[in-house]
Structure 1
Amino acid sequence: MKLQFHSLHFDVDQKLVDFIQKKVDKLETFYDRIIDGEVILKVEKDDARDNKIVEIKLNVPGAQVFSKEQAKSFEAGADEAVESLRRQLKKRKEKQLAH
């Protein structure tokens, strides 16, 4: 699946891009009609420990699914965001099958 990556206030490392790409690709096992997606990585300037924000938006036929998570690391935030998207996609698929 094609993902666009945007990083605000820092330069993203290729290892992080590959990690998130691999996690999001696994979502296709739950819902195979994902068109493409966008990942936004932000670092907030405050002194809080949880200053890393991961936003993932996936385009599916007729809608968008979105998740925004804030965590201590981008990896942890990506894990939480992907898990949230997995639940949303699973629920969407169940509703389609019910019709």
Structure 2
Amino acid sequence: MDTNFNYVHVSASERLEEFTKEKLNKLKERFDFIVSADVYFKTENSSIKEEGRIAEIQLSVPGPQIFASANQENFDMAVNKTISELKTQLQKKKEKMQTHH
């Protein structure tokens, strides 16, 4: 699966990319209709110290694209939350696709 990483006001991180790819590959194994992923890592200048690390993931799938994002205190937590939201959306999409076949 093609995965594009984009960093907005954040230094690129190989560890973070590996962590995210691992999570995305697990999704791909479960939902083989995923074509590609665009991942965005952003920081938010927020007065709230608990948040400000944003992970956004957009998946290319048949039909409308699937998108989720999360704002957490670190990128690992944000990725986990985003992946969890994507999994829910993908499950719904898979069920819809099965009813159309």
TM-score (structure 2 length as normaliser): 0.92
* Percent of matched pairs sharing the same residue: 31
> Mean alpha-carbon deviation: is it higher for 88-97 or for 44-53?
44-53
2:29 matches 1:29:
yes
Unaligned runs of 5+ in 2: none
2:89 matches 1:91:
no
1:54 partner letter: A
Show CA shifts across 1:17-50 (max 9, x none).
1000110111113210111110000011223220
Query: What is the root-mean-square deviation in Å for CA atoms of aligned residues?
Result: 1.0
1:91 partner letter: K
State how far apart, in whole Å, the 1-side matches of 2:90 and 2:10 are. 30
TM-score (structure 1 length as normaliser): 0.94
State how far apart, in whole Å, the 2-side matches of 1:77 and 1:89 are. 18
Large movers: runs of 4+ above 4 Å? none
State how far apart, in whole Å, the 1-side matches of 2:37 and 2:87 are. 14
Q: How many residues align?
A: 99
> Mean alpha-carbon deviation: is it higher for 22-31 or for 76-85?
22-31
Unaligned runs of 5+ in 1: none
State how far apart, in whole Å, the 1-side matches of 2:47 and 2:15 are. 25
Equivalence for 1:7: 7
State how far apart, in whole Å, the 1-side matches of 2:55 and 2:13 are. 14
